[in-house]
Structure 1
């Protein structure tokens, strides 16, 4: 039957034998208001590459001076849901732009399973190169410091930030000042530390990863499990500073902490810091009000990281 389910990865998506894809979350999109009344941050949608198509949402703080640091941001959503234009992200990125005086480019990369990895990695790498190119948006050319670039993301976006930093080191085309990984989506076939061992949960994580990676990459591939990558690649990451944020009740908390320890062991020459939020779970800062004390605490930590003088 045409409506027979081929893959059911609720609550994210279902794929049918007919070819139909039904996303069950992360489908609401809306452009940010042109001007945020509370902060004065202005925002607009831009086209990076019409052939992909690849878009971004730019955020510019009020009274912009030249040479603002540029934050290239990658949204989360397990590589298969979400958008740079999700209302979930606008308040967070507006707050970062205003408080840290950042010019933010939030990348709307292609999603799996229609576009399995490495599509998202390639799009986000292209977006990074665009920010330092003569073809970058006029806001970036007029107000951005194309020599002071930051990467950041949450969940799958944090995974992307890591992959982009590794590629930056390998290809040597851009020097990244810092990368902030918030609740990174890393996993593996064998549990780490206190990580959950429930068979059904781990099977679901395996099926999800296979779906978003085109069915060809297992849970011990370097894209999802950085511990499987040669430490030389991690040691050569093309950024000067690294901030890894984990949450105590996040099912992927152990992976984030293990990633931080691996980076320290690798011989990477940069400055790394691990921050843990007690009593909170995965991407809590996007689901709770900005006024929540733990949200403010994490936001302030990110602002401090981006604002630190060279």
Structure 2
């Protein structure tokens, strides 16, 4: 997710534009969505720098949905790797696992963490409103679970995935999805799948009432976030819907997994929501361990646009440590 601008309909020169959420997406009155970012596709490869392998696999034949798998090369064939299931961001409406941004980032994450990763492609809003993308994301987890006994359709998972060490992760809207997958896991536990932890980077959470520094944000920014949410979930009850405001979920303390890492950025307009989520888990009786990292002087999902900068490297180190610490 990034800064957005709704300049329509009054500010639009095109009469058929319903909403202009530049630089993410333009929605036309006939329902078409013109996505402005995240449309380029990077082919799978053996990455020359990290030596990570990647390939695409279909996880839902019915909906023709794929995921991109990432596997470190030259690994010990007798040693299983933690399984990382990753959900990309993009305001629920743009980007894919196959774009240069996410291919590059998950590739680097896998290289550094020595995990096997499933980067999930889910159907996007507004053509496929919430909860469709949550259902797709859960279908991908169930597909992964077919490999628990080593006889699933994908050999990489059969041979290399340690289903006793499973992590969900995502950034922005993808972090929102990762949270809800951990909630669903607590209700629909999958045989042989042990969710250890959840990694939420700049999570896209919100609420009706402003908190913390949100009161200093421009009214336009707050309204933009609301509009993106209502675009994604047209039947929502509002910004206190537990799907966007997990603090309002009476089942929050049932969250699956044994530990959570929340990463916020000091200059991110969603910063205080990440802190509120952390405090709710820490102080209200959730049984696991929750950690938070605040990255100074950075904005929303800065690590995707500048992954080599000092703060992004420190953030990556923290994620790797979180995955491997006992």
Given the two structures, how large is their TM-score scaled by the length of structure 2? Answer: 0.89
User: Alpha-carbon deviation of 1:133?
Assistant: 1.1
| Structure 1 equivalent of residue 227 of structure 2 | 207
Structure-2 separation of matches of 1:13 and 1:215: 20
| Structure 2 equivalent of residue 120 of structure 1 | 133
User: Alpha-carbon deviation of 1:9?
Assistant: 2.1
Per-residue CA deviations over 1:268-291 (Å, capped at 9, x if unaligned) read 11111000100001111100142x
Structure-1 separation of matches of 2:70 and 2:199: 18
| Structure 2 equivalent of residue 110 of structure 1 | 123
1:238 aligns with 2:251: no
Equivalent pair of 1:168/1:175 in contact (CA under 8 Å)? no
1:52 aligns with 2:63: yes
Assess, with a 3 A threshold, how the Cα gap between structure 1 residues 30 and 265 changes in structure 2: closer, same or farther. same
Equivalent pair of 1:162/1:181 in contact (CA under 8 Å)? yes
Equivalent pair of 2:217/2:269 in contact (CA under 8 Å)? no
Structure 1 ranges of 4+ moved more than 6 A: none
Structure-2 separation of matches of 1:74 and 1:58: 12
User: Alpha-carbon deviation of 1:176?
Assistant: 0.6
| Structure 2 equivalent of residue 80 of structure 1 | 93
| Structure 2 equivalent of residue 218 of structure 1 | 238
Deviates more, 1:75-84 or 1:62-71: 62-71
| Structure 2 equivalent of residue 147 of structure 1 | 164
Equivalent pair of 2:207/2:240 in contact (CA under 8 Å)? yes
Structure-2 separation of matches of 1:96 and 1:289: 10
User: Alpha-carbon deviation of 1:245?
Assistant: 0.3
Equivalent pair of 1:175/1:238 in contact (CA under 8 Å)? no
Equivalent pair of 2:163/2:194 in contact (CA under 8 Å)? no
Equivalent pair of 1:70/1:149 in contact (CA under 8 Å)? yes
| Structure 1 equivalent of residue 41 of structure 2 | 29
User: Alpha-carbon deviation of 1:265?
Assistant: 2.4
Structure-2 separation of matches of 1:217 and 1:119: 17
Per-residue CA deviations over 1:202-248 (Å, capped at 9, x if unaligned) read 22211111011124341110000111111xx2211110110000000
| Structure 2 equivalent of residue 303 of structure 1 | 320
Gaps (5+ residues) in structure 1?
none
Task: Look up the SS of the partner of 1:239 in the other structure.
Answer: coil
Gaps (5+ residues) in structure 2?
1-13
Task: Look up the SS of the partner of 2:100 in the other structure.
Answer: coil
| Structure 1 equivalent of residue 30 of structure 2 | 18
User: Alpha-carbon deviation of 1:197?
Assistant: 4.0
Deviates more, 1:122-131 or 1:166-175: 166-175
Task: Look up the SS of the partner of 1:160 in the other structure.
Answer: helix
Structure-2 separation of matches of 1:271 and 1:226: 18
CA RMSD of aligned residues (A): 1.7
Per-residue CA deviations over 1:140-172 (Å, capped at 9, x if unaligned) read 011111222100000001001110001111222
Structure-2 separation of matches of 1:161 and 1:95: 19
1:180 aligns with 2:191: no
2:175 to 141, 149, 158: 158
User: Alpha-carbon deviation of 1:3?
Assistant: 5.6
Structure-1 separation of matches of 2:47 and 2:133: 29
Structure-1 separation of matches of 2:307 and 2:174: 21
| Structure 1 equivalent of residue 3 of structure 2 | none
| Structure 2 equivalent of residue 269 of structure 1 | 287
Task: Look up the SS of the partner of 2:225 in the other structure.
Answer: helix
User: Alpha-carbon deviation of 1:136?
Assistant: 4.8
